[in-house]
Structure 1
């Protein structure tokens, strides 16, 4: 049975992806802060392991990774997903503490998870594995008022490229999925902010979050000699191509 750790597994894209991998027969380590939600998922799936912790805490994260790898007999994949949007405002209205919080979760947290997965994949026998980073369309074309989130997601693209290079010697592949307007709590919150500013606003098209989750599964199930380096999955009519 193949194994994967999924961060941010209690909601949104992370939870949807966990459900897809569990249904596909993978052994899944669920990382998030909400222990009660992870416990509920684990109760209904024998192949799920709840690993409640904060992705920004390297010590508890190491404990989680070590315990899951010991139980699963290794680690085949990581879906490096946990993240937050942060304040929606121009830069002069953003508190430094709010910026630090977004960078802490979206960059530091993903760095910690990638570091632990890389170390496990490098030392296990047989060596190797796959790291899939959750980027964003904001890693390419940002939304207005998204300075914190956009900065963090550009950093993740650099992380993906560096991991791809550093992993070659150890059979560790790394790819990035950039998801646009999957129906999650984050997108619903963004839509609520838009409507609060303009009740007459037309909301952008969205897609079922399961489609994003199935795309992650496709990336994870590639054979070792193949890799999806970057994948963009978005609502078909979303104004991404050609938007100013």
Structure 2
């Protein structure tokens, strides 16, 4: 394992399980001091996997006060921030437009869109202070393809993709790179609530299997490192070929 993140401070939201947990552990393995943020309490379990490198922070990204308090703590305890993995998100109810209630719609947008915006908003000044850095947002294959029975989720991830491009353009000259990872069907707890099993879901993937969180973490580690120094404003699809055609 390389040490691409030695002396770096990395924030991962939605770090309690799945992709977020895998990325927090991978960044710590590569030398980072990691802030693992989540609303569930499982951020403590993530921190326990690497107690010398990962610090758990409870944060609801739908609450601006929580986000502000998290960044205040990062500034006070770590004094800098170098990389952000903006991962917290929810899928929302699996219903069509006319069945979608306003409260559920607002909840998806508050977490997936407004929460992602607020993390970017608070992260930028800290990245500017160290001369640049990397923000990686979790978008989705649903940012470019519709998903039956999930009316709010694809629009929210489409917004994340455009937010990625906008921020990348606005801060390119400041040395801040902003990219998005667009996962397909990854073996995470979210899929456990699907109406069909993992074996059936795998039939929708040309490669014939689900992706693993650790595979997404490998991509995130590259994008967050100096090796990706000339890459910004892009969406990287990691989906086993799901969006080929």
Alignment of 1:11-30 (within 5 A): 11-30=17-36
Match of 2:8 in 1: 2
Change (3 A) 1:120 1:201: closer
Check 1:72–1:202 CA distance in 2 against 1; reply closer, same or farther (3 A cut): closer
Tell me if structure 2 keeps the 8 A contact 1:182–1:235: no
Residue of structure 1 equivalent to 2:244: 241
Corresponding position of 1:51: 57
Unaligned runs of 5+ in 1: none
Match runs of 1:32-43 below 5 Å: 32-35=38-41, 37-43=42-48
5+ residue gaps, structure 2: 1-6
Relative to structure 2, which stretch is displaced further, 175-184 or 204-213?
Answer: 204-213
Q: How does 1:96-111 map to 2 (within 5 A)?
A: 96-111=102-117
Match of 2:131 among 119, 127, 134: 127
Relative to structure 1, is the Cα distance of residues 201 and 38 closer, same or farther in structure 2, using a 3 angstrom cutoff? closer
Segments of 4+ moved more than 6 angstroms: none
Q: For 2:96 and 2:43, how far apart are their aligned partners in 1?
A: 35
State TM-score, norm by structure 1: 0.88
Distance 2:96 2:77 in 1: 46
Q: Which stretch of structure 1 is more off in the superposition, 128-137 or 69-78?
A: 69-78
Q: How big is the shift at 1:223?
A: 4.3
The aligned residue for residue 142 of structure 1 is 146
Map Cα deviations across residues 103-127 of structure 1 (whole Å, 9 max, x no partner).
11100111111111112112x1x32
Describe the shift of the 1:92–1:116 C-alpha distance in structure 2 as closer, same or farther (beyond 3 A). same
DSSP 3-state at the match of 1:147: coil
Change (3 A) 1:221 1:187: same
Aligned residues: 232
**For residues 22 and 229 of structure 2, what CA distance do their matches in structure 1 show?**
27
Q: Compute the displacement of 1:69 (Å).
A: 3.1
Residues 181 and 237 in structure 2, CA contact (< 8 A), matched pair in contact too: yes
